[in-house]
Structure 1
Amino acid sequence: MKHTAERPLVADGDRPRADVAKGAPRKLVQVAVGVLLQPDGHFLLTSRPEGKVYAGYWEFPGGKLEEGESVEEALRRELYEEIGVTIGAAHPWRDTVVDYPHALVQLHFCKVTEWAGELHMHEGQQFSWQQLPVQVEPVLPGTVPVLEWLEQERGGVPLGG
């Protein structure tokens, strides 16, 4: 995948590949992301709110880790603040690094199968329970690998492959 303003580079692993970060070193922003899964396989996607970078793009909910927070603590806080649910256990799943034009981010994806409360979009975003293939678009580039991982787990052919 080529790095452009529209399509950031995505690299699996704990740190960016040498070809991801070009020029001056950039701070790696740590982000906790929740993959909320229903028993029937539906998963929650939310749209990015107006006023944020990539407004209107669909993603899995989550947000930045604050100083001293673990991934699970940040995910618990972010999901309560953003969508109004209190989660049970967050099961660490996969990490990936995405080099967006505005930030270099390490996404820590956690599967969440238990939560309490009604969904309430506190930032004016939309939400949709989806299955593969997703029916909403555009999808945030950092979300694409997750959709591929979910497809692989259910035994299907990887997206685009």
Structure 2
Amino acid sequence: MAKKMLLVAAAALIDADGRVLICQRPEGKQLAGLWEFPGGKVEPGETPEACLIRELDEELGISVTQACLAPFVFASHEYEAFHLLMPLYLLRRWSGTIVAKEHKALAWVKPSKLGDYPMPPADAPLVAWLRDLI
């Protein structure tokens, strides 16, 4: 039987020192305690870019323009109940101060150290791409 396809957009925020922002999932959520790239589910009729602009404001309190979202790679991962498709965008410019509004914690991490943080199965394969790029 075919599984439901879930489209989730994520962003790798990169600071001036070449570090990437990862967020720890809060208690009570699926995969709680794991580290992920910020983003969320694409709503019906919404583009992945519009989703990220909305989610980054909701989760981190920052403003992002679509022109600053650079498509990078994507993850395709089969979970038990659904299949996840997740485009990852690179983001180097935003306005506002980053605050953990929905996550347990935030961390700025050098790409070579991202493997030290436990991540959901869909996020983990993206680390190698970031390590090679930055």
| TM > 0.5 | yes
Query: Does residue 153 of structure 1 match 2:133?
Result: yes
Give the aligned partner of residue 65 of structure 1: 42
Distance 2:108 2:81 in 1: 28
TM-score of the aligned structures, taking structure 1 as reference length: 0.76
RMSD (CA atoms): 1.5
Give the aligned partner of residue 129 of structure 1: 108
What secondary structure is seen at the aligned counterpart in 1 of 2:113?
Answer: coil
Distance 1:138 1:145 in 2: 12
Distance 1:61 1:124 in 2: 9
- 2:115–2:127: 8 Å Cα contact kept in structure 1? no
Distance 1:130 1:27 in 2: 33
Give the aligned partner of residue 15 of structure 1: none
Residue 123 (structure 1) shift: 1.6
Give the aligned partner of residue 93 of structure 2: 114
TM-score of the aligned structures, taking structure 2 as reference length: 0.90
Query: Does residue 95 of structure 1 match 2:89?
Result: no
Specify the code of the residue in structure 2 equivalent to 1:48: R
Residues 27 and 78 of structure 1, relative CA distance in 2, 3 Å threshold: same
Distance 1:118 1:64 in 2: 23
Distance 1:140 1:91 in 2: 23
Query: Does residue 37 of structure 1 match 2:14?
Result: yes
Greater RCO (CA < 8 Å, at least 6 residues apart): 2
What secondary structure is seen at the aligned counterpart in 2 of 1:127?
Answer: strand
Percent sequence identity over aligned pairs: 33
Distance 1:87 1:71 in 2: 13
- Given the alignment, which residue of 62, 65, 68 partners 1:85? 62
Specify the code of the residue in structure 1 equivalent to 2:100: M
Residue 122 (structure 1) shift: 1.6
The structure whose Rg is larger is 1
- Given the alignment, which residue of 113, 119, 130 partners 1:139? 119
- 1:58–1:136: 8 Å Cα contact kept in structure 2? no
Residue 104 (structure 1) shift: 1.5
Specify the code of the residue in structure 1 equivalent to 2:131: E
Residues 136 and 152 of structure 1, relative CA distance in 2, 3 Å threshold: closer
- Given the alignment, which residue of 104, 108, 122 partners 2:83? 104
| Number of equivalenced pairs | 131
Could you list the runs of 5+ residues in structure 1 that have no partner in the other structure? Answer: 1-23, 155-161
